[in-house]
Amino acid sequence: MHRAWSEIGKNPLSFGIDNVSIEAFRSGLDLELARIRSDLIGKTYKFQMLRGVPIPKPGTEKIRPIQVPAVRDRVVAKALALLIGPDLKKFDHPFSFGYRTGLSRNNAIAAIHKAAAVGLTWVLEADITNFFGEVNNLLLFEKLFKVVGKPSIKNLIIQAVVNEIGNRDQIVPKHRGSFPQAGEGIPQGAILSPMLANFYLSSFDAEMEKRGFQMVRYADDFVVMCADQMQATKAYTFAKEYLCAELKLEMHELGSPKTRIVEYQSGFTFLGYEIRQGKHYPSQQSIKKVLDKVDKAFEHPKGKALFPIVIKITQSLSVWRATYKDAELGDAAHRINTRVANCVTEFLRLNGFTHDGRTVTKRQLLILGIPSI
């Protein structure tokens, strides 16, 4: 339990349906863990319902239906993950990069460039339709419990996965339908879900490899690097048939924005990057996302204190810069830095700090504590 607690995320603003925050749980940590332990030993532990949180997808009206567990349930789920992780690790494939310790999106992008360098310059860019919401629970558990030889935790795993959100009525009607019912899919935002997602798709990985396809997969997004257009078409046909027949999943139709065949040199978008001509850049969507955060921070600036805005902006810029540190940042950095400078200048003007009309410089931003990209 203590190890599980030490390894879960500690976002201070995160809480479950019971409204118990990370800090509140931490303040009574020993007592909370003792209660969990007692319930587990007595086989009376029950997972609480999830808290549904609709997260907007940048540039669209769609949302990502995040389902947040209570803090105590996260501790138990993490303990379960620690127990079954070694059993599932052997199913990881070299071209699966998502949710794996020591691997990242940058490793996936490097694998794409490496494949193109040896002549695999046609790309099947693909996406599974509503993957987390469509995972077949019965099939998942059938596969999982053949591998995980720990009968005593079977019911806990099922409880962690087959769960309902407890605040459905509080979610605006247009977004309610995006949240699956209990027994449908695996909950986005839950600790076991990434591990189970990779395990569920591991047979797909194996079959693609067996047929000689060079795939790069990150969760439910994947590309297949091919020698020519014909091979890319064959990869699409096989992937679509296998996912439907064996895993009860659907791919977006070929030719749709999320599933298409393109040439590597022409460029395509994958995992928040635009990949073209041997280089990769932050995608337009990722740039828009950080620009929107800048604009949001400076909304209604008159009479506001600058210091809280500086903290918020600095955090956003630092996270974005760390995320794209291995990408070509020239144009993106210029756009973001210009937006920040203009917003700060307008803030200072509206609050009577400057009247000369000149835009603040990079050095002046740094003095204020705002770094450049």
Neighbours of 127 (CB within 10 A): 18
Tens digits of per-residue pLDDT, 87-118? 999 999 999 999 998 999 999 999 999 999 99
Give this prediction's pTM.
Answer: 0.87
Q: Yes or no: say if 366 and 372 are a contact pair by the CB < 8 Å rule.
A: yes
Q: Yes or no: say if 70 and 45 are a contact pair by the CB < 8 Å rule.
A: no
Can you read off the two tokens belonging to residue 7? 């390894």
Tens digits of per-residue pLDDT, 63-84? 889 999 999 999 999 999 999 9
Helix (H, G, I), strand (E, B) or coil at 241: helix
**Rounded to an integer, what distance in angstroms lies between the CA atom of residue 216 and that of residue 19?**
39
Dump the DSSP string for 145-189: HHH---GGGHHHHHHHHS--BS-GGGS-HHHHTTSPPTTSS--TT
The torsion region of residue 357 among left (phi > 0), alpha (psi -120 to 50) and beta comes to left
Least confident of 108-122, 217-231, 292-306, 322-336: 292-306
Helix (H, G, I), strand (E, B) or coil at 119: coil
**Rounded to an integer, what distance in angstroms lies between the CA atom of residue 335 and that of residue 288?**
10
Q: What are phi and psi of 214, to 5 degrees?
A: -90, 95
Q: Yes or no: say if 137 and 183 are a contact pair by the CB < 8 Å rule.
A: yes
**Rounded to an integer, what distance in angstroms lies between the CA atom of residue 1 and that of residue 57?**
34
Q: Yes or no: say if 316 and 290 are a contact pair by the CB < 8 Å rule.
A: yes
Mean pLDDT, range 135-159, rounded to an integer: 94
The structure tokens 């029950």 sit at 46
Helix (H, G, I), strand (E, B) or coil at 66: strand
Tens digits of per-residue pLDDT, 150-192? 889 999 999 999 999 999 999 988 888 888 888 889 998 889 9
Tens digits of per-residue pLDDT, 48-62? 999 999 988 766 778
Beta strands 260-263; 268-270: pairing state: unpaired
Tens digits of per-residue pLDDT, 268-293? 999 999 998 889 999 998 999 999 99
**Rounded to an integer, what distance in angstroms lies between the CA atom of residue 266 and that of residue 244?**
30
The structure tokens 């400057």 sit at 354
Q: How far is CA 275 from the centre of its chain?
A: 19
The structure tokens 């460039």 sit at 113
**Rounded to an integer, what distance in angstroms lies between the CA atom of residue 70 and that of residue 23?**
13
Query: Which residues fall within 8 angstroms of residue 319, CB to CB, at 6 or more apart?
Result: none
Q: Is the confidence at residue 312, as pLDDT, over 80? A: yes
The residue ranges of DSSP E strands in 147-304, in sequence order, are 214-218, 221-226, 260-263, 268-270, 273-276, 279-282
Amino acid at site 29 = L
**Rounded to an integer, what distance in angstroms lies between the CA atom of residue 331 and that of residue 270?**
19
Most confident of 160-169, 201-210, 312-321: 201-210
Taking each helix axis from N to C end, the angle separating 330-350 and 284-297, rounded to the nearest 10 degrees, works out to 10
Q: pLDDT tier at 369 (50, 70, 90 boundaries)? A: confident
